[in-house]
Amino acid sequence: MVARKVLTGARVVLPTGVVEGGRVTVDGRTITGTGAPARPEARPDAPPHPDHQDRARGEPPSTPRHTRPAAEHAVEPTTYAEHPERTERTERTEYDAYTTYPLPPDHWIVPGFVDIHVHGGGGASFSAGTAEEALTVAGTHRRHGTTTMLASTVTGDLDDLAHQASALSELVEQGDLAGLHFEGPFIARNRCGAHEPSLLRDPAPADVRKLVDAARGTARMMTLAPELPGGLESVRLLADQGVIAAVGHTDGSYEATRRAVEAGARVATHLFNAMPGLGHRTPGPVAALLEDERVTVELINDGVHLHPSVLGLALRGAAGRIAFITDAMGAAGMGDGRYPLGPMEVEVRDGVARLVQGGSIAGSTLTLDTAFRRAVTVDGLPVEQAVEAVSATPARLLGLDGRVGSLEPGKDADLVVLDGEFALVGVMRKGDWVVSPELG
């Protein structure tokens, strides 16, 4: 028995473009149809067979069925039958329920967000190394639209990091997380930011391998400074192990960064932050990472980490390769106050996180729904490009684009519903509502 949900009437962002008054059909945990509204002759208690469903063709859509007038903004799902049955050719499908969600025409349906760099949220941290705190972090960000995420650790004692990796790997195996990201301890002292300097170390391949092994196949990314002794060997080791090597918290030169990319590095960790600036004679890592088409560029779009002109420079210089991240710590989804970040203490004032000792920016309190909304309403990014940065590009980087990152039949039913001002009103993960639009 399968529960069918049909979201209709809103703008649907597909890989082929935006469909006005479109439709997304979900059966169980999977998207089974997208595109233009169902044909008017279709019976409400017998949804069209997937072979007959309209797809986006760039044509003006017909009037969607079950769509409420634009002036009405409450969403009232309608369940047509408890057990409707339908036979098509030799196929037979039974539904526990067939429920439509008619959305206002100024609303948007976009793919669930994918965050490849997040440390905490909801007052909890992945670095605690416990399932309870990790699930709190994951739940907090899901309520803000992130349906797929890596658990990012911070610099710590090597044995402690190995313990955290072992504990978090179980949640990856259960499907709660998409993998692990080690940020530190193999980073430059001069660019360590909110990482404890006394725990930093060079990226000896044996130490790198220890953390990868502790993750039991769930390590997806590691940030390191490739100019340090052992750096290039560790980049090659990570590439051989199928783990993404990311260049970050680095004091390396343009030439050193180029060598790292040639060795297999494929991500720029929060570009511009915790690395030398872009110079006209000493371009440094920024230029090397921006110019290489093989590199995915992380950006923290919170209005604090990057000046708008610098953000625009990156968006133009790495078009199609941008992944918006949160780099969020425990205060995300919470209020001002003091929070732990690994062994460090952070104070949040007016939503900005800084170390209590030294005052360095210490991650963010960002959630991806806010990053998305800012991208469109402040930075002027087209909606399709914002979707690319929060969903499609990070999903492709992780090799998960066959399951998530876009709204297409056969993929996981992970989606976000936004209102006309791009505020989040609904989140679905694997076919279940995390935030139901009928309540928002």
Distance (Å) of CA 303 to CA 133, 195, 300, 368? 28, 22, 8, 13
Angle at 88 between CA 85 and CA 94, to 5 degrees: 25
Q: Where are the alpha helices (DSSP H) in 334-408?
A: 368-377, 383-387, 393-397
Burial 191-224 (b: 16+ CB within 10 A, else e): bbbbbbeebbeebbbebbeebbebbeebbbbbbb
The closest of 104, 87, 85, 105 to 96, measured between CA atoms, is 85
Residue 77 burial (CB < 10 Å; 0-12/13-18/19+)? middle
* One-letter amino acid of 190: N
Q: Are 330 and 124 in contact (CB under 8 A)?
A: yes
Structure tokens at 397: 């980087």
Angle at 379 between CA 376 and CA 380, to 5 degrees: 55
How far apart are the C-alpha atoms of 184 and 364, rounded to whole Å?
A: 17
Name the one residue in this structure whose structure tokens are 């972090």.
137
How far apart are the C-alpha atoms of 307 and 283, rounded to whole Å?
A: 18
| Residues with catalytic function | 327
**How far is residue 260 CA from its own chain's centroid?**
25
Pairing type for strands 219-224 and 244-247 reads: parallel
Q: Are 414 and 435 in contact (CB under 8 A)?
A: no
